[in-house]
Amino acid sequence: MANTNGMQSAPLKFSKMISEAEIAKRVKELGAEITALCQKESVIAVCVLKGSFVFYSDLVRAIEADVKSEFLGTASYGNAMQSSGEVKLTLDLTTSIEGKTVLLVEDIIDTGLTMDFLTKTLAARKPKKILTCSLLFKPDALKVDFKPDYVGFKIPSDFVIGYGLDYQGFYRNLPYIARVESLN
């Protein structure tokens, strides 16, 4: 795989873990669950960038109710295969969430540090409530006590790529989730 400068990305050996069809089915199910919530109250769906953009776009289209879209940028991995443990906010919301129901949409929760940081940061802005939705959840990797409200798939503590998740900025375009076996 070549990047835009003509340089090669870090080649990985990987194997399919969750198929495109399995993802589509589960996203539709999550959309139906969240639709029930959105029919009771107004929801601001917040995409946690960068990794969740593919999941987020499919999820909001699976919600059969109006939701307001917002975006937050975070960084905790850099170019590594493990979280640095330090969460940085790289892009903030553009509208107030005071008194609103917020649905944070994340690609993966492993250590829980990013979602813990974001829920505490956003709670200071006085929303009505904060709910969380993650495509992938690694309960065995948690470093803080955190349980998402909506989960696509529970997975082991493997490093995964695809469907928005990356390694050094690459592999986000895979239509499925793959387990990284090794670096070449």
Question: Using one digit for the tens of pLDDT, what is the confidence trace for 85-119?
Answer: 678 888 999 999 999 999 999 999 999 999 999 99
- The pTM score is 0.88
Distance from chain centroid for Cα 182? 23
Side chain identity at residue 72, one-letter code? L
Three-state DSSP state, 51: coil
Domains of the chain: 20-156 (3.40.50.2020)
Tell me the pLDDT band of 10, cut-offs 50, 70 and 90.
Answer: low
Q: Identify the pLDDT of residue 84.
A: 55
Q: Tell me: cis bond preceding 50? Omega within 30 of 0 counts.
A: yes
Handedness of CA 8, 157, 28, 106 (dihedral sign): negative
Active site members: 110
Q: Alpha-carbon distance 184 to 174, whole Å?
A: 18
For residue 78, pLDDT beyond 60: no
Q: Alpha-carbon distance 151 to 3, whole Å?
A: 32
For residue 34, pLDDT beyond 50: yes
